[in-house]
Amino acid sequence: MEPDYASYSTTDLEDALRKIDQATYPERTKHIQEELKIRAQTVPTGEKKAEDFDTNEQFYKCPHCEKKIGFFSRTNNSFGRIKHCPHCQQPFESKISAKAATAILIPLVLMNLLVFRPVLESLAFSKFIGTAFVIAVVISASFRFRKLPPQTVN
């Protein structure tokens, strides 16, 4: 049974070609070389495919240089979805992660109902202060910076 070389990565095939006993297995050596030759022709080196793009989503860090961008910084508080890093000047997108917001929202809502609201009412404060606190924490903790896809970068 011949292995399906199309399911292996290029690095796996190159590693197999280095380690294989070419005198004992000339047929397999030939198949591996052919598969590597086909892959070299289809994807030129240095050229990235669109699906290879990594957004590098970060929490208050530049997705390019990975340096910290403060919560109260001018960059973070500027208007617009597309912002520029103060360190490397590369553009990035700011967004609210729905997954992070959901993960943070559920425990905070329960904490608000069971802890914040009774304490605030006993201190004669409005119970909506706890709700405002929960909303502020969810928004600020679910904020993410990510790289722009190649076609949107100007």
pLDDT tens-digit map of 28-50: 899 889 888 888 877 555 555 55
Q: How far apart are CA 17 and CA 36, in angstroms?
A: 10
The stretch 74-98 carries a mean pLDDT of 88
At residue 15, the pLDDT reads 87
The stretch 85-107 carries a mean pLDDT of 90
Q: Which domain holds residue 24?
A: 5-42
Tell whether 80 and 152 lie within a shared domain: yes
Pair of tokens at residue 151: 């076609």
Tell whether 27 and 60 lie within a shared domain: no
pLDDT tens-digit map of 49-73: 555 556 667 788 888 888 888 888 8
Yes or no: say if 135 and 104 are a contact pair by the CB < 8 Å rule.
no
Residue 16 has pLDDT above 60, yes or no: yes
Mean pLDDT taken over the chain? 84
Q: How many residues does the chain have?
A: 154
Cα torsion 108, 113, 118, 124 to 10°: value is 80
Tell whether 11 and 35 lie within a shared domain: yes
Tell whether 73 and 55 lie within a shared domain: yes
More confident residue, 47 or 23: 23
At residue 55, the pLDDT reads 65
* pTM of structure: 0.53
**Overall domain count for the chain:** 2
Tell whether 23 and 90 lie within a shared domain: no
Tell whether 65 and 138 lie within a shared domain: yes
Tell whether 57 and 90 lie within a shared domain: yes
At residue 43, the pLDDT reads 55
Tell whether 79 and 30 lie within a shared domain: no
